[in-house]
Amino acid sequence: MDMATFMANGAIVFGDQEYGAKRDRIEQMDLGCTLLIHGFDHLANPHLIVVDNPGVAQFVAIDYWAIGSGSYMALSRLSLHRQSAMLSLEETIYNVVEAKVAAERALGVGQHTYTFILEKGKPQRSLKPETGGILMREAGKRIVLDPPRELLDLIKADLETTPTPAENQTAAKRSTPKSPTRDRKAPKPSQA
Amino acid sequence: MSVCIAAISDDKKIVVSSDLMVSLLGGAFSADLSLIKGREIALQQWAIGFAGDDIGRVKPLVARVKHALVGVDELSAEAVASAVLKSYHAERSALAVETHL
């Protein structure tokens, strides 16, 4: 049965209950893949478009995007590098490669990489394998930089000298002034 | 589920990077070093990158998009998006028919 027949006669063929159940399952159908469309319009302006389930298009306005399980890692790296269409091709290539290396930390992202450059009306080109290898290796080192030792020492010193909430509470109790009581020995105002 | 990244540079070029991991059957099967995830849909002008748990429907989907773009003179972003969306809906519908009807 095709979709048009199902929509027209499904309730008669399957009965209301089964027809409803099938409609629900069909509406929840997921194609299982996301698309990142990239290319150039007739004025040679570049565009990025994302199409995702259930078939919705988003025109990417920030000049970069990523899809898949590694997308959050990739997008955060690109954002940190302030990637935009104001950056040179060289900077963009580095940022994209570093984003790919960062994305490898996510589940389901493969370590092998294919990077290429598109220009309207020209065949796609890519870096030489040795250059790509160097880029991947160096980007891999940069994304796993340990925090600076002096900053860790600063945090440690702060933690050691900052009182805990319990210590603060105790100190507060000690410093609270007692309720004022009449000092019996206080001298009476001198009588003139 | 893999990754596909694209960014635009100041000289109107697009840099694309993806892994070569392939997942099929809702992620039940995966293999690395298997597939370049770019499909040209209009010669040296528009292409599709993809990622997902099941890329088994990408090939017929791309074929639908190519077919939809035949004869379109001005390949604006809106025209391409419209062709991809129609193809996506058609492929999703075809999958639903195969699975449930």
- For residues A2 and A155, what is the distance between their CA atoms, to the nearest angstrom? 66
Are residues A25 and A70 both part of a single domain? Answer: no
- Which amino acid, residue B61? L
- For residues A136 and A143, what is the distance between their CA atoms, to the nearest angstrom? 11
B28 — pLDDT class (breaks 50, 70, 90): low
Average pLDDT over residues A150-175: 86
Q: Distance from A99 to chain B by nearest Cα, in Å? A: 8
Cβ-proximal residues to A114 (8 Å cutoff; 6+ apart), any chain: A126, B17, B18, B19, B20, B36, B37, B38
CB contact under 8 A, B15 and A92: yes
Q: What is the pLDDT of residues A65-90, one digit of tens each?
A: 999 999 999 999 999 999 999 999 99
Q: Distance from A145 to chain B by nearest Cα, in Å? A: 23
Based on the structure, what is the number of domains in chain A?
2
Instruction: Look at residue A153 and tell me if it is in a domain.
Output: no
Are residues A84 and A130 both part of a single domain? Answer: yes
Are residues A69 and A133 both part of a single domain? Answer: yes
Q: Which of A5, A18, A36, A98 to mutate to test the interface with B (most CBs of B within 10 A)?
A: A36
Q: Does A77 touch chain B (CB under 8 A)?
A: no
Q: Is the pLDDT of residue B25 over 80?
A: no
Instruction: Look at residue A157 and tell me if it is in a domain.
Output: no
Q: Is the pLDDT of residue A186 over 60?
A: no
Are residues A79 and A138 both part of a single domain? Answer: yes
* Residue of chain A with shortest Cα separation from B99: A26
Q: Does A109 touch chain B (CB under 8 A)?
A: yes
Among A76-90, A157-171, B5-19, the least confident range: A157-171
Cα–Cα–Cα angle for A169, A175, A177, nearest 5°? 125
Cβ-contact A50, A57 below 8 angstroms = yes
> Which residue, among A85, A87, A52, has the nearest Cα to A66 in the 3D structure?
A52
Cβ-proximal residues to B48 (8 Å cutoff; 6+ apart), any chain: A35, A36, A37, A38, B38, B39, B41, B58, B62, B65, B84
Give the containing element (helix H, strand E) for B4. Answer: strand B3-8
Are residues A137 and A77 both part of a single domain? Answer: yes
Residues of A in contact with B58 (CB under 8 A): 33
The overall average pLDDT reported for chain A is 87
A192 — pLDDT class (breaks 50, 70, 90): very low
Are residues A25 and A77 both part of a single domain? Answer: no
Q: Does B64 touch chain A (CB under 8 A)?
A: no
Q: Do the interacting molecules here have an ipTM over 0.95? A: no
* Residue of chain B with shortest Cα separation from A27: B96
pLDDT top residue among B6 and A174 = B6
Instruction: Look at residue A165 and tell me if it is in a domain.
Output: no
- For residues A153 and A160, what is the distance between their CA atoms, to the nearest angstrom? 10
Encode burial over B79-98: b for 16+ CB neighbours within 10 A, e otherwise.
bbbebbbebbebbbbbbbbe
Q: What is the pLDDT of residues B32-82, one digit of tens each?
A: 666 677 788 887 799 999 998 877 888 899 999 999 998 888 899 999 999
Cβ-proximal residues to B17 (8 Å cutoff; 6+ apart), any chain: A96, A97, A99, A100, A113, A114, A115, A116, B4, B5, B6
Taking the complete model, does pTM exceed 0.95, yes or no? no
- Which amino acid, residue A106? A
> And the tokens for A70?
């590694």
Instruction: Look at residue A6 and tell me if it is in a domain.
Output: yes
Structural domain that includes position A9: 1-29
B23 — pLDDT class (breaks 50, 70, 90): confident
